[in-house]
Amino acid sequence: MNLGRVIGTLVATQKDEGLEGYKLLVVQNVDLDLNPRDSFVVAVDTVGAGVGEIVVTVGGSSARMTLPTKDRPVDTAVIAIVDYLDRQGKITYRKEEEA
């Protein structure tokens, strides 16, 4: 599993039929201090994540183990939206409350 920040969406009008109806997100990997790393992935969104949110992604065969992605041509999936990050008893990130 990896930690990342959603930095955008990807729209592809022509794609494999196994991806029809799925939202594709561009996720930049981050470290535990939420600093951006130089790597990013395109991931199928399985949880309704949006731009700016901190998310958990999985890759490879794990990405095809969610109900929405089972037997689909998916290599990376967003499987969780982070509410808060607790490091050694200290909350270092908390998702902003929605207005």
Q: Is 38 a domain residue?
A: yes
Distance CA(28)–CA(86), nearest Å, equals 21
Per-residue pLDDT for the chain (99 aa), expressed as one digit of tens each?
999 999 999 999 999 998 888 999 999 999 999 999 999 999 999 999 999 999 999 998 898 888 888 889 999 999 999 999 999 999 999 998 654
**DSSP per-residue string spanning 18-55:** GGTT--EEEEEEE-TT-PEEEEEEEEEESS---TT-EE
User: What's the CATH code of the domain at 15?
Assistant: 2.40.50.220
Q: Is 99 a domain residue?
A: no
Q: Is 26 a domain residue?
A: yes
Total structural domains within the chain = 1
What pLDDT shows up at residue 98?
Answer: 52
Domain that residue 23 falls in = 2-94
